[in-house]
Amino acid sequence: MLTTAEALATLLSAASPIDGTESIATLEALNRVLSADVISPLDVPPMHTSAMDGYAIRVADLVDFAAAGNKRLPVSQRIPAGHAPEPLKPGTAARIFTGATVPPGADAIVMQEQTEATGDQVTILHSPQPGEWITAQGADIRSGSVILPAGTRLTPQALGLAASVGCATLAVRRRVKVAVFFTGDELTMPGEPLEPGAIYNSNRFTLRGLLDKLGCDVSDYGIVADKLDATRATLREAAVAHDLILTCGGVSVGEEDHVKPAVEAEGRLSMWQIAMKPGKPLAFGAVRRGAALEEASASETFFIGLPGNPVSSFATFLLFVRPFILSLAGVQTVAPRMLSLRADFTQSKADRRNEFLRARINPAGGLDLFPNQSSAVLTSTVWGDGLIDNPPNHAISAGETVRFIPFSELLN
């Protein structure tokens, strides 16, 4: 069996960024992936600004006044934010507000709490240093610097950063196009009568939600009958205009499992046994499109087949499909960040496989384990905050540090 690291490395080695870019409004670019660096055309802030409400002064003037026993300065101008100031007259102070442009000639701001204003004069009760409470031009961003590199997946704060340098539009990669379908004559959609032997198709809702979270352009072919011809026809149709075909169930070797022979007939397939729990079986390959099957040069649509158990499909999507799709989208960093947290439980039985245990963070900052780790118990994925990445043949003792992958990372 492959290790999880080997399986992921094989997947990612096959994934290169898709072709196709577009320019879209920055307001509409959340979760999209930059296709080009964002380079600032200006300094931020574009001028020296005041970090406080107070008075702009020349430190040298204040020193001269203090030597004469006087710290009272006439106020020569008032500078709200958004207004262009006049140069500061020698021997005067300027009333200034947070974010306002520092007048030429001033080299410090004295906050208003350290002053006493009387009429058109102000008494300075503090001896400032040059630069005090002044945010220098370009302190945040310098003109010509790369503020967001290509391959960045755009967060709300990244959109704000792009807007702060005046970017009304951004160059992004097109969305990854994913076709998804489900096999199994036992599957029934919620709202329909549940016949004997039937189950509701929870995987359709879970996987569609995961694909939507990744910003994919999804075509949902629904439940495909457990027939070889129907499966082949759906694969051919889905391959035409998609980057990835994702299926759930039907990739085993039973008489009613038609996905494996269908993909082999329409393209190529590798069946993997991965040393992980849950989620041992995974299928990876491609379906040819736009040319005869025998033509080696025909373009292909990637194929990934997930196991049918709900927790297995959920876990294998997060650990393998998510980074694969992000790589297709051109994202530079696809590995989730792990936390080192304390296990507040004991699991004395070690498994020979790499386990991914559903757990949640308790009020004491440790991890509690969901009591039933079966691959059929979808409740654990809602109860939990993430997955413990437990190495093969390792029993967990209460108090030891374990590796924890939060769902907030895996669902991002």
Same-domain pairing of 296 and 384: no
Please give the C-alpha separations between residue 269 and each of 242, 292, 355, in angstroms, as whole numbers.
17, 17, 26
Give dist(CA 245, CA 328) in Å, integer: 13
- Give the CATH number for residue 394: 2.40.340.10
Same-domain pairing of 59 and 87: yes
Structure tokens belonging to residue 342? 């304390």
Q: Parallel, antiparallel, or unpaired: how do β-strands 177-183 and 199-200 relate? A: unpaired
Same-domain pairing of 295 and 399: no
Structure tokens belonging to residue 154? 């755009």
pLDDT of res. 69: 62
pLDDT of res. 293: 47
CB atoms within 10 A of CB 1: 14
Say if residue 45 is preceded by a cis peptide, omega within 30 of 0: yes
CB 2 within 8 A of CB 271: no
CB atoms within 10 A of CB 391: 12
Same-domain pairing of 181 and 324: yes
CB 38 within 8 A of CB 145: no
- Give the CATH number for residue 63: 2.170.190.11
Same-domain pairing of 39 and 78: no
Same-domain pairing of 36 and 162: yes
Same-domain pairing of 181 and 289: yes
Give dist(CA 30, CA 22) in Å, integer: 14
pLDDT of res. 123: 94
**Residue 273 forms part of a structural domain:** yes
**Residue 223 forms part of a structural domain:** yes
Same-domain pairing of 71 and 149: no
C-alpha triplet 370, 372, 378: angle, nearest 5°: 85
**Residue 334 forms part of a structural domain:** no
Buried/exposed code over 67-96 (b: 16+ C-beta within 10 A; e: otherwise) = eeeebebebbbebeeeeebeebeeebbbbb
pLDDT of res. 71: 80
| Environment class of 344 (CB within 10 Å of its CB; exposed 0-12, middle 13-18, buried 19+) | middle
Give dist(CA 307, CA 280) in Å, integer: 8
Given 328, 351, 384, the domain boundary residue is 328
Question: Token pair 């694909």 is at which residue?
Answer: 211
Amino acid, single-letter form, for residue 156: P
Same-domain pairing of 162 and 33: yes
Say if residue 278 is preceded by a cis peptide, omega within 30 of 0: yes
C-alpha triplet 25, 30, 34: angle, nearest 5°: 75
- pLDDT, one tens digit for every residue, the chain (412 residues): 899 999 999 999 999 999 999 999 999 999 999 999 999 999 999 999 999 999 999 999 887 666 656 688 999 999 999 999 999 999 999 999 999 999 999 999 999 999 999 999 999 999 899 999 999 999 999 999 999 999 999 999 999 999 999 999 999 999 999 999 998 778 888 998 888 888 889 999 999 999 999 999 999 999 898 889 999 999 999 999 999 999 998 665 554 578 889 999 999 998 888 999 998 889 999 999 865 444 444 599 999 999 989 999 999 999 999 999 999 999 999 999 999 999 999 999 999 999 999 999 999 999 999 999 999 999 999 999 999 999 999 999 999 999 999 999 999 8
- Give the CATH number for residue 279: 3.40.980.10
Given 276, 296, 328, the domain boundary residue is 328
**Residue 148 forms part of a structural domain:** yes
**Residue 295 forms part of a structural domain:** yes
Structure tokens belonging to residue 128? 């400032």
Segment holding 94, helix H or strand E: strand 93-96
Amino acid, single-letter form, for residue 192: E
Start-to-end CA span in the chain (Å): 29
Same-domain pairing of 195 and 225: yes
Strand partners, 299: 289
* Number of domains into which the chain is organized: 4
**Residue 155 forms part of a structural domain:** yes
Given 114, 135, 156, the domain boundary residue is 135
Q: DSSP string of 244-299?
A: EEEEES--SSSTT--HHHHHHHHEEEEEEEBSEES--EEEEEEEEESS-TT-TT-E
pLDDT of res. 298: 56
**Cα torsion through 303, 8, 334, 359, rounded to 10:** 110
Question: Token pair 């190495």 is at which residue?
Answer: 391
Amino acid, single-letter form, for residue 293: L
Give dist(CA 385, CA 404) in Å, integer: 9
Same-domain pairing of 99 and 125: yes
**Residue 333 forms part of a structural domain:** no
Same-domain pairing of 203 and 314: yes
CB atoms within 10 A of CB 241: 13
The residue range of the domain holding 385 is 339-410
**Residue 400 forms part of a structural domain:** yes
Please give the C-alpha separations between residue 77 and each of 42, 94, 152, 273, in angstroms, as whole numbers.
28, 5, 45, 76
pLDDT of res. 297: 46
